[in-house]
Chain A
Amino acid sequence: MPKAKRALLEISGLKVEGNTGEEWVDIVKGVHLTLRRGEVMGLIGESGAGKSTIGAAAMGYARDGTRISDGSIDFDGIELTTASEGEKRALRGSRIAYVAQSAAASFNPAHRIIDQHTEAPLHYRIKKRLEAQEDAMDLYERLRLPNPREIGFRYPHQVSGGQLQRAMTAMAMACRPDLIIFDEPTTALDVTTQIEVLAAIRDIVDQFDTAAIYITHDLAVVAQMADTIKVLLRGREVEEAPTQEMLDGPKEDYTKSLWAVRSFRRPQKSRPNGSEPLVSVRNVDAAYTGGVKVLDQVSFEIYKGMTVAVVGESGSGKSTAARVITGLLPPTAGEVLFGGDPLPPNYRNRSRDQLRQVQMIYQMADTALNPKVRVNEIIGRPAQFYSGLHGVKLKHRVDELLDLIELEPSRFYDRYPPELSGGQKQRIGIARALAADPTFIICDEVTSALDQLVAEGILKLLDRLQEDLDLSYMFITHDLATVRSIADEVVVMRNGLVVEQGGKEEMFRPPHHPYTDLLLSSVPEMDSNWLTTLLEERGVDNIGDAATV
């Protein structure tokens, strides 16, 4: 890429403040950024690092409750910090475009995709309606959407998540902008779908020589997309370097810790000899009201003290399997045995002790903890409910549990969940499960909403607790890196069927079932050529349909 080009976007000394209700605090503390035409810059960091705030600021935009307090943002000679709302509005959509994390939430469900696509070019009178539609179809084709001439006339809920994310990228290209800001465009997608979107974005940015800012917390993803990477921490820049240089030799300690994050591995344990499985799911069929079958003859076993990872894309039925075990969704056929005895299909008919044995940890700690109840009560309630503890004994138990999850009892005892960070909330969720003194815990995507460093901490904690308390885990996830680090056995599910199951080591060693192979090869690796190599191997034409193989 020729570096002689003039800077398209030049941010210097940018400071953004956020209002906490009481006072203004700095969110972004003096960040510099230079972006030339045709260049892609990756911004990475944990949540709260200010990545999205910088992305918004690049459009001269400050979200509600924030304001740009200092610095300059120069977009192709226009100073955005002093430009009027009208001037900025004229740039947005036409010369700067934005692709949001969740396309499903960003499209208006009441209008057809193509109508939303053509809104900007029609508004700016760049094209006539038919021309704009023709151009949209052309973009859909370049982005390898199926039926490019027809798909735009569907409503957003009629296409899949990955297709919608590509349609949104196409929409961002509608006016051929000079700069696109991608704000975590693949975070909400499955690995297999992620590849299509990544490939599409990279192609389109190349073809039109567009500059882009790519915001993500996934290093392996940014390695495929960006020419340069900038690492952020709490609103400050840690370091910036060309991608390959950054991958080969990060300089700062923080960056090194980010790079090392996926290193946690646990050796595989084997099944104890001659013992009964703790949980065994036998030939279970399940359907939601409406008759759609979501589980088809599913069988697997979980032995005491072991972790079984259930893997698959969204819609594969892995969460439904968990609902069957907990009794929230009684199966239409088959049964669940616990310690050799069948569990009543409906949780209402289970005894208190049966309920106590099976506990659950949820994906979204935000919705899993009652925001209006203090931490001590959240954790204390199961202990009180099952063991009848109260008074001083209960307080001791809560303190003990808080110690177990590595949170200081004196600091957290009286807090409310909204005052805690994502990782802390997830730990409270774990403590609530432990308070019941269970033998079996279902972890439903417990780390997928967390930053990598925090997620690693949670995985280590779960592993330690398993050793100390002899727990068995059913670990539902779509993230194979998590599987690699914590699982003993793996169950691969697809469309309600168990495709393959076995020990971790043998699952990660070929030969695989074709679907397992697809899942494994779709996990981005820390190699900037990974995507290119993979696409060549698979053949360009069928990436778009990778998920539907």
Chain B
Amino acid sequence: MNVFAVTYFAFLIIASSFAAFQQRRGPFMILFSLTLASFVLAIVGGTSALRSVAVGAGLLAFAASIAYCFREFLVIIMPTGIARELRTAPLTAAFGLFVIFTYAIAGIFAPWIAPYGESEIISSAFAPADENMLLGADQLGRDMFSRIVYGARNSVGLALVATVSAFFMGALGGLLAATKGGWFDQFLGRAADVIMSIPSLIFALLMLSIFGPRIIVIIIAVAIIYAPRVFRLTRAVAGNVVVMDYIEAAKLRGERTWYLIRKEILPNSTAPLVAEFGLEFCFVFLLVAGLSFLGLGIQPPTADWGSMVRENATLISFGDLTPLIPAAAIALLTVAVNFVVDWMLFRSSGLKE
């Protein structure tokens, strides 16, 4: 037994006794199960296995404490109404908010945060990390860290614009279809079916090879692909609102469609739409990353996480983790957004407990 193992177990046992003493059942069960599992692991895998468990648990604990602090921070700075909602947010949602917040800062202030330009060659190809380069260099000798920071602006920005356009088209169509009904509803519905029947990646590839891989084409193609889903959801949600008596009262008053949509229907369908926005954003983001990986998305030398994975892919056969860093950035954002969306879905569905 070495010092590490002894401290590790001592810490766990003291922590679980403390939790038990405080009558906190949940934390106690987590800590003590971890202790028992570690016993088994230490016997089977030795100290190295124990070390990886410790690192994993430490990272989780670290993420949890950051999330906890960030939630407290938001509760204090936000106005009362939002603060009350935030206080009930689970830690996962707080963690998601924190990650999104970090990405937003990185994206907005990219030129100030990144030590080098996104296409600036400063070193030899695949140079390892040193005191100048936090994460080493890529295949052309550009700073990996700077490119990740710029990538937050390019990839996330593009996905955001595409999702917003998809939502604008889909939600407007859905609201109009639900309010107007009749042939207009049928027409939009069948049009949406036609678009949905084409496989999305093939449709995007087709559009991009016809019109060339320009940013505007990517945005329009992605918006067209995702608009029908938003359309269907909005139409279903608005359909439940349209049958309410207050809509009938407004119609009998002689209100126009636009007033009905804006004042009566939209405020009552925002919750599921916001949740859907988060989900669609993830899909769009992954699609854009996938297109970049195929070489049809954002074009070099612009930094983009999807193409960065592709460009550095050769390194993986040498056991280097560099290509996984932009992939991890994509994964982290997706998970974070989903955490927040889960919380919103939970709130809007009213499935308390």
Residues on A close to B: CB < 8 A? Answer: 64-65, 326-328, 347, 350, 352, 355, 358, 360, 362, 364, 367-373, 381-382, 385-386, 432, 436
Contacts and interface: CB of A to CB of B under 8 A. Distances in A.
B253 A367 contact: no
B109 interface: no
A390 to B, nearest CB: 15
5 contacts: A328-B252, A360-B249, A367-B245, A371-B268, A382-B253
Which one of B249, B263, B264, B352 has the greatest number of beta carbons of chain A within 10 Å? B249
A368 B245 contact: yes
A102 to B, nearest CB: 19
Contacts of A352: 254
B253 A373 contact: no
Interface in B239-253: 244-246, 248-249, 251-253
Given A347-B251, A373-B263, A368 B352 contact: no
B245 A355 contact: no
| Nearest 7 pairs of A and B residues by beta carbon | A372-B267, A368-B245, A370-B246, A362-B245, A367-B245, A355-B254, A367-B244
Contact of B353 (A64, A355, A368): A64
Contacts of A64: 352-353
B268 A385 contact: no
Contacts of B244: 367-368, 370
A370 B264 contact: yes
Nearest to B247: A370
A29 B268 CA distance: 36
Given A355-B254, A367-B245, A368-B244, 12 more contacts: A65-B352, A327-B252, A347-B252, A369-B246, A370-B244, A370-B263, A370-B264, A370-B267, A373-B264, A381-B253, A382-B253, A436-B253
Contacts of A372: 267-268
Contact of A355 (B246, B248, B252, B352): B252
Contacts of B254: 350, 352, 355, 385
A367 B246 contact: yes
B252 A360 contact: yes
B270 to A, nearest CB: 8
Nearest to B254: A355
A373 B244 CA distance: 14
A424 B246 CA distance: 16
Nearest to A363: B245
Contact-residue bracket for chain B: 10 to 19
A380 to B, nearest CB: 12
Given A364-B245, A368-B245, A326 B253 contact: no
A370 B253 contact: no
Contacts, number: 50
B109 to A, nearest CB: 36
Contacts of A371: 268
Contact of A385 (B251, B253, B267, B353): B253
Interface of B: 244-246, 248-249, 251-255, 263-264, 267-268, 352-353
Nearest to B263: A373
Contacts of B352: 64-65
A386 B252 CA distance: 12
B253 A355 contact: yes
A327 B263 CA distance: 23
Contacts of A368: 244-246, 249
A29 to B, nearest CB: 24
B256 to A, nearest CB: 10
Nearest to B266: A372
Contact of B255 (A327, A360, A373, A385): A385
Nearest to A377: B263
Contact of B249 (A65, A327, A432): A432
A374 to B, nearest CB: 11
B255 to A, nearest CB: 7
Contacts of B268: 370-372
A413 to B, nearest CB: 18
A364 B243 CA distance: 13
A384 B321 CA distance: 65
Contacts of A347: 251-252
A368 B245 CA distance: 4
Contacts of B267: 370, 372-373
Contacts of A381: 253
B228 to A, nearest CB: 27
Contacts of B253: 355, 381-382, 385-386, 436
A146 to B, nearest CB: 33
A364 B244 CA distance: 10
Nearest to A444: B245
Contact of A362 (B249, B251, B264): B249
A360 B352 CA distance: 36
B252 A326 contact: yes
